[in-house]
Structure formats: structure tokens, C-alpha cells
Structure 1
């Protein structure tokens, strides 16, 4: 009996142990299912949701850039830009998941960005695609060159790839080669011809760092500025925009990778109203055109779609040696005049300080004056002008009929230190080509110091130590290569001219924009990196800058009407 009892107790214990093991197994299995559901199923759903959201956001952004057409009359909504985060997503995927997803979505311009990573390709990240425009937008204008100016036959200025006829070295102030009677508004054709020699042109727009539009915008408006209604003045600009918007290259970024050149001041393309009496056309106010970058000889400091490039000078070197020899010649010159001024007064403009400058120069024993008023004058001879600049330490550069003057670049070409009286004459204009620290190469005297305080220019300039003058002059001479346009029919070996500097700046601008888009960052109409220049302008001037520029037009037009009968060569008039 006892034996049987012991066997029953052992069996009960065994059954109890089996039940405990079963209960433990069920409990473990329950927790395993719970943890699996939490960490795998739920997290997987969240990951898929985030991935889908990123995909949808990416598709939406891509659609915004690539598929939504911009009509000529459509006004795009404002875009707000957070601080830029520099850098393109790592090709190995070492950045965040969001960046990786965006890069993998293959924005149409990613291929172009990737070319910069190919170190064996000297053109990587530098390719330019040029639109093959209908001839009505460029070459036809040259064929009808007599119509490009109301009172001047511009045909001679379009010869030699836009450089104009060669200059004779009568006064011995030029070097043996590379000097031409270049019209100051000829940048359209000079730039386009230089582009034909650019070493990194491509027929494949998918690898292009930027897209060039060879539209002669300056020549177009020049032929219609006087005596034509606004429909005629606007026709070619609207035609161009409509043509571009039908091209597949435009849809990649809605034109934000496109750029064009106009050899005139920005105000010729910013007509404020639909009044027939208002000035210029509305090219830069067309919504689609606002996406493009426009290079002009005078820009608006308050708009993001135009950029200042140098006026053409008379010097167009064909090789590096031409530049080096000229620079050395400018270093060795004896300069007997402390300062000089070439220009005409503006009696119809009460704010002009030109009369005061002329009077001070007349009274000074160390100032050379060339008065550029009615009739014949040495002021209209490139040789006489360059001779005066070469013999002067400082050259006065007040405002002309607009904020800028070609004379500023001619004087620097001669190694003469420019003296500016308004920040809009250079400092807020040519940020690609001139140093940000303007004290390195120029002297700034505020207009009010002349207008209200009647300070002595001679006294102010005499206070600059001779050693400092020498340093400043060397800085000016060192800038010469980037301020001149090389002969389009040849190529400089190592130097970068004004064309090269401008093209690289456009490429950098487009590249940064593309990186911002990939990182879901966009620019608005305020150029953050140039915000420093606004502080240079007088307080409150940003509110009236555009209006005051437009007000210049009426006296300018009146002055032209008075003077045009006195000048056979319009380029001479525009110099003053």
C-alpha cells in the first residue's frame, strides 16, 4: 500500500511540474507575441508611413519644379528661406534618412550635380547648355544693326565679334594690340561670342550646371526706347519667355537655372506701369523671367534676379601676356596729377554734385579736367581719356545719368584709383568682380560731404599716405584681368576675365540653389550673402531706390534729345 502511495505522490509531483512548465511556456510565448507586435509590426507601419510621407513630399516638390507650368501672367507665391545648410548629401548615404530618400528620388538635376564629383573630368560641375534660339532673338538684330540706335549707326560697333573697330594708337597710350572702339552697351554680343569659346559647353542639358539664353535683350530694347508703344517694347520679351517655357530644359527648374545678359542698366527692363510714357519694357517683371538670372551693367540692389557685371572697356586681350605687359606698364607710369575728372555738369538735376566737382577741379593746381559738354571735345577721344587716367593717382567717379559709369572701369584699367560718391556706383553693384572691402581699391566720399559740407577733395585725398596710395594702386592693377572682356576670337591661358568670373558666379548660384532644393530649402527674393551691402546705402534709401532711379529717366531722355544732334558717335556721349 505504501509503495502505491509513494508512486501516486511522485505522479502528482510530475504532473504539477508539467503544468508549471506549460504555464511558463505560455507566459513566455505571450510576452514574445506582445514584444513582436510592438517592435516589428507597429514600428514597421510607422517606418512605411514616414517613407511614404517622404516620397509624397519629394514628389510634391519635384512636381512644383518640373510639372507645374508658369504662365506669363502667373504670379508665384512667396518663398521663405531658412538658413542655408551647405553641402550635397553624401553619396555613401552617411547623412540622414530624409536626405537619402530625397537624393534617391532623382531630381532631374542630380546628374548635373554628380558631375562635380568626377575628379577626372575637368568640366565636372562646370558644363553650360546654350539654347538654340530662333535668329529673331539675336542674329537678326545684328543684320538690322542700323535700327539698333535712333541716331547712331551701330553697325561698326558690332564688328570684330562685338568689339568694334580697332583703335589707332595716335597718342601712344595703348599697347600694340587688343584695343577697340567698343560701345559701352555691346556686352550682349561680346558675352555671347565669348560663350561660343567656353571650354565646357554641352549638348546634354542633363549634365549642365547652368543654361545660357543668348537673347540680345539690350539691343532689343535699345531699338524701341524712343517713339514706340509698350506693346512693341514688350513683344520680344514675352515671345522669348513663351518660347522658353515650351522647352524641356525649362521644366527642370522652371528657369531658375537659366541666365541671360543685357548690356544695359536694369531700369531699362523694369517698367513700372502700363502707361505709354513710362520708360523701357517689363522683361524683369514678367513672372517667368523673375526665375532667371539677368546680368546687366547696372543692377538693382533690391532685386534677386539681376546681377551687375562690368561695362566693357576698350581693352580686349587675346592672351595672358597682353594683360601682364599692360599691368607692368601701369605700375611704371609717372602720375603728375593728384586727381582728375572727365564729365559734364547736370544743371537740370539739383541733386547732382558734378558742378561742385568741376569747380573744385578748376581751382586746384593738382587736378586735371576734361569737360564733356556740347560740341567737339577731347573727352570723346578714347586716347585722350586714357592718357588723363594714366597720369592721375585718383579719378573722380560721381553718378552719371544713372548710378554707374563706364568711366569707372576705364579709369581702373589705367591703374587710377576710383573715388566714388554713392555706394550704388560700384559697391552694391559689382559684388562678383570687386572686393567686398572697397577701401582696398577705392576712396569713398559721401555726396553730402560735397553737397552740404563743401569738403575739399584735394585736402581729403592729400591726407592719404603715399605708401597707402601705392598699395591701393597695386590692388587696382591686380583687378584688371577680371574687369576686362578678353577677345572672343581667342582665349586667355591662365587668367580669368570678366566673362569667366560671371559664369562661375552663376554656376555657384545655381549649384547652391539645387542643393537647397534637395535639402528642402528654398531662397526668397532676398540675397542673404549680399545683405551687407544694403547697410552702405543711406538710411531709408532702399524704399525709394527704384523710384529715384525711374526719376532719372526723364532728365536723361531730355538730355539725350538735346545732345544727340551734337554727337555722331553715341558711345562717346554715354561715356560722360
Structure 2
């Protein structure tokens, strides 16, 4: 049949296939480019797959970045701590409000808790008491709340979620809250912040995670008794640690209660020394080892403030023996009142005396208190502490000081001091020189364990008081309570 051709259409050429143009170089480029693009896509997909596998292999089952390959041992296992995101009214605002209260000495308070709690840097005097070392500040004891909080911000095992944490830190500035209301006679005002933080915690999901807050802990630069007003004793302090929430939590305090069943653990008072590096610690240890000590013993403090007619305290008897001895250096500290002749808040003067003594005397300061801040400053100075009551150290700082107290300190019976039958000077002179040398070396070895490193830095191989306290609290909260 004859094929019809549409008008205007080109005629079919039976030889068209045979006359197809030869495939030239340009014709080959297109399929080669497509193949190259596909290969690049495959490589890109493979690279993304490897990246995602590696990225998520560094996350543990709870989504925490560990920096380790999956299956490797987790160095933070059992050490994770979650920091409660408390409203500012429980910490930062307390400092702000206290600083504004000029009637209550706000300017001085600001200076003492500024610089992450360390206070103002100290200048080395002409006689080289500090000898150019880094990390010396005019730190006060109530700043422990701030120092600890800032150190915790740099803790290497922080958890993003409370569900994976062994312990939960509550950054409530309890000692600063105590200070701003210490002179207030209204107990409701004193206890307002403690009640507020307890209510806030009880509404948080992590509170019920483990027996109503038994894995929570806080830090307070006060003695436990200052936070345990229960109405049966003196009208003093707050009731933070005797509320239901306070009893459930653990508290790191400067002096624990030896007579009440609380979860308070004693940690060292802040000293004036806050090293930034291991080298700072090692240089200072070498310095105090080589000091020439001109005093046999030294005492820092004044008379115990007692009601008129009340009997003398052990502190008063010890000070009297020091004053009567030509071998005892005495530095009287007092309130910073106008026209006062006392050496109040003079860290350099304190350290000068402590560095010049072989033994430093630390009687209970009086009242219900047994511990003294100067015990730790004296150890930083390489001065062997002398205690008169086991509660001044041995029953308190069990995490930070050796169980065998004879390795680093001397215990002089308190009863003999009060009865006038024991001479402190004679007791200390009877200790053999070789024993004194061994005790001083142990004191020097303990220096890192009783100081808090600068929160803006971190010691590499040395454990400081913060590290030891964290280890202690993790061990404590991990154990089931009776």
C-alpha cells in the first residue's frame, strides 16, 4: 500500500538509521557527566551517614555527650550532677539586694562576695607574706555559697537532665539569706526564702524522683545550727534544715550539728588562698616548707563574747596562756568598728603571724560553736594545728582530714586547760623535733584538700576541697537512707 504523506511533512528516509551522524566528542560528554554527578551524590550520602553515626556514637543512651565511642567506659558514670535552674530570687537577687542595703553594710558585703565569691585580690606587702603567688583574696566564710556555685558551673560531669544524675545541686544562697535577716526579729521574714525554695522544689519532677529530694544537696557558708531554728532553742537563724524539705536534702556546711539528726556534712572554711593551677599549689607548698618560724605557737582571736558574770571559756584560758608566754604570738581580731584598734579583716596580718609559728592554737570559740576558720588558714601557712576538743576538727571534717589526727595535729585536753593543770607551751616543747617535722610535712601535703581553687580555673592533677566535697556527697546520696 502506498504511504500517504501529510502535506508539508518531510518525506521519510528509509536510510535514516544508517545515516545517523557519528557520535562525536560532545555527544559523549553528557552521559559521562551524569555518571560523575551520581558518584558524587553517593559519596556525599556516605559521608553524611558516617558523620551521623560517629556523632550519635558519642552520645550515651540518655543523650548525654560523653566524648567517647559507644561501648567505652563512661568516666562520669555515677558522677553526674544536675544543677537546679532556680529563679534568681534564690541566689543572684539575694546578693543584689544585700549590696543595696547600705544600712546593713552592703558595700562591704559586695566586696566580700564579689569576684565569684573570692572577694578582692590581695596585694603582697613589702615583706613578701604572699610572695607574688597567684590566687590570694580577702575571702569571707559566708562566700562559700557563691564559690561553690561558680565551681559547679565548670564541673566536668554536669547533666542536662535530672533523670541521669546521681545528685541534684540546689544553688540557694542560704548563708547570704541568713545574713540579710540576722538582725530581724520577725521569724516569718527570716524563713520566707527557705519556705519559698522548698515550695519551688516540691513542684519539680526531679523532687519525687528519689524519695522526696533525698538526692538533693545545697551548700551554706554557716554552721548548721544557724539554719536549724525549731522554736525550742534561741530565737536565732532560719529554719531551713528543720523543714520537711530541708531534712530530706543534704547540706554542706562549715560546722555540722553533733546533737541533731540532720544530713549536714562539714566542709572546710574558705581560706584566703585560691590557686588557679597545680603550679600555684606546688610553689606555695615549697615556700611554706622552707619558712623560718620564730614563734613556737600563735593564737588568732579575742575574748569570747559572753554575758556579764558568765564563766570564762576554753578560748579565754588559751588566750591567757598565750599572752603569758614569750613564745606565743597573738593577733586580736574584732569587729570593724569606727576607731577600732583591732586587726579586723586583715588577711595579710593573719597570714604573717601564722607563717611565723610552728604550732597554731584553735580552741572552741565559745557558745555552741567548736570550729574556727583560722584552723584552715593556719594549715595553708604550714602551721601545725593544736585543738582542745575533738569536735573542733576530728568529728567534723571526715572527708578532708586524715582519720589519724596525730599525723597532722596535736590534741591538748580541754579539761586540763580549764583546770589550770596543763601548760600548752610545755606540752608542745615535749614533742620531739623529728615528730614535728613529720607533722609539718603532713600539713603541707594537706594544703590542696583544704583550699577552694579559683572558680575561673581548674586544677589538673590536684584535688581541692570542692572536688573532695563532691565525691563525698555523691557517695552519700547514692546510699539508701535508713
- TM-score, reference length from structure 1: 0.67
Higher relative contact order (CA 8 A, sep 6+): 1
Tell me what 1:238 maps to.
195
* 2:224 aligns with one of 246, 263, 266: 266
Q: CA deviation at 1:181?
A: 0.6
Establish whether residue 162 from structure 1 lines up as the match of residue 120 from structure 2.
no
Residues 222, 122 of structure 1: CA spacing in aligned structure 2 closer, same or farther, 3 A cutoff? same
Map 1:342-381 → 2, pairs under 5 A = 342-346=300-304, 348=306, 349-373=310-334, 375-378=340-343, 380-381=345-346
Please tell me the root mean square deviation across aligned C-alpha atoms, in Å.
2.2
Tell me what 1:128 maps to.
81
SS in 1 for 2:316: helix
Quick one: distance in 1 between partners of 2:276 and 2:324?
A: 42
Q: CA deviation at 1:242?
A: 1.0
Q: CA deviation at 1:453?
A: 3.7
* 1:506 aligns with one of 466, 470, 473: 473
Q: CA deviation at 1:124?
A: 1.4
Contact map agreement 1:141 1:148 (CA 8 A) in 2: no
* 2:93 aligns with one of 116, 140, 148: 140
Tell me what 2:413 maps to.
446
| Comparing 251-260 and 117-126, the one that deviates more | 117-126
Tell me what 1:488 maps to.
455
Tell me what 1:284 maps to.
241
Tell me what 1:318 maps to.
276
Tell me what 1:400 maps to.
365
Quick one: distance in 2 between partners of 1:445 and 1:395?
A: 12
- TM-score, reference length from structure 2: 0.80
Residues 274, 441 of structure 1: CA spacing in aligned structure 2 closer, same or farther, 3 A cutoff? closer
Contact map agreement 2:343 2:349 (CA 8 A) in 1: yes
Unmatched 5+ stretches in structure 1: 1-109, 514-521, 524-576
* 1:385 aligns with one of 350, 353, 363: 350
Q: CA deviation at 1:304?
A: 3.5
Quick one: distance in 1 between partners of 2:103 and 2:475?
A: 35
Quick one: distance in 2 between partners of 1:323 and 1:194?
A: 17
Q: CA deviation at 1:194?
A: 0.3
Q: CA deviation at 1:357?
A: 2.1
Give the paired residue count: 402
Q: CA deviation at 1:227?
A: 2.3
Tell me what 1:192 maps to.
149
Tell me what 1:204 maps to.
161
Map 1:304-315 → 2, pairs under 5 A = 304-315=262-273
Contact map agreement 1:173 1:386 (CA 8 A) in 2: yes
Tell me what 1:337 maps to.
295
SS in 2 for 1:226: coil
Quick one: distance in 2 between partners of 1:434 and 1:267?
A: 22
The one-character-per-residue Cα deviations of 1:99-135 (angstroms, maximum 9, x if unpaired) are xxxxxxxxxxx989xx9x9752221111110110011
SS in 1 for 2:85: coil
Tell me what 2:445 maps to.
478
Quick one: distance in 2 between partners of 1:378 and 1:218?
A: 24
* 1:455 aligns with one of 402, 405, 422: 422
Quick one: distance in 2 between partners of 1:200 and 1:161?
A: 20
Q: CA deviation at 1:351?
A: 4.3
Residues 119, 397 of structure 1: CA spacing in aligned structure 2 closer, same or farther, 3 A cutoff? farther
Tell me what 2:40 maps to.
none
Quick one: distance in 2 between partners of 1:391 and 1:341?
A: 11
* 1:217 aligns with one of 174, 177, 184: 174
Tell me what 2:48 maps to.
none
SS in 2 for 1:263: coil
The one-character-per-residue Cα deviations of 1:424-465 (angstroms, maximum 9, x if unpaired) are 211111111111111111111121111114311110001110
Residues 487, 148 of structure 1: CA spacing in aligned structure 2 closer, same or farther, 3 A cutoff? farther
SS in 2 for 1:448: helix
Contact map agreement 1:370 1:379 (CA 8 A) in 2: no
Quick one: distance in 2 between partners of 1:300 and 1:200?
A: 30
| Comparing 380-389 and 411-420, the one that deviates more | 380-389
Contact map agreement 2:171 2:219 (CA 8 A) in 1: yes
Quick one: distance in 1 between partners of 2:358 and 2:160?
A: 48
Map 1:164-179 → 2, pairs under 5 A = 164-170=119-125, 171-176=127-132, 177-179=134-136
* 1:430 aligns with one of 397, 412, 435: 397
Q: CA deviation at 1:281?
A: 1.2
Q: CA deviation at 1:421?
A: 0.9
Residues 149, 251 of structure 1: CA spacing in aligned structure 2 closer, same or farther, 3 A cutoff? farther
Quick one: distance in 2 between partners of 1:378 and 1:157?
A: 17
Indicate the structure with greater helix content: 1
Quick one: distance in 1 between partners of 2:115 and 2:429?
A: 43
Map 1:32-47 → 2, pairs under 5 A = none
Quick one: distance in 1 between partners of 2:333 and 2:85?
A: 42
Q: CA deviation at 1:487?
A: 0.3
SS in 1 for 2:214: coil
Q: CA deviation at 1:355?
A: 3.0
Residues 482, 149 of structure 1: CA spacing in aligned structure 2 closer, same or farther, 3 A cutoff? farther
The one-character-per-residue Cα deviations of 1:216-272 (angstroms, maximum 9, x if unpaired) are 011111111112401111111111111111111111111011000011111111113
Unmatched 5+ stretches in structure 2: 1-60
Quick one: distance in 2 between partners of 1:394 and 1:424?
A: 19
Quick one: distance in 1 between partners of 2:316 and 2:245?
A: 43
Q: CA deviation at 1:369?
A: 1.6
Tell me what 1:50 maps to.
none
| Comparing 455-464 and 347-356, the one that deviates more | 347-356
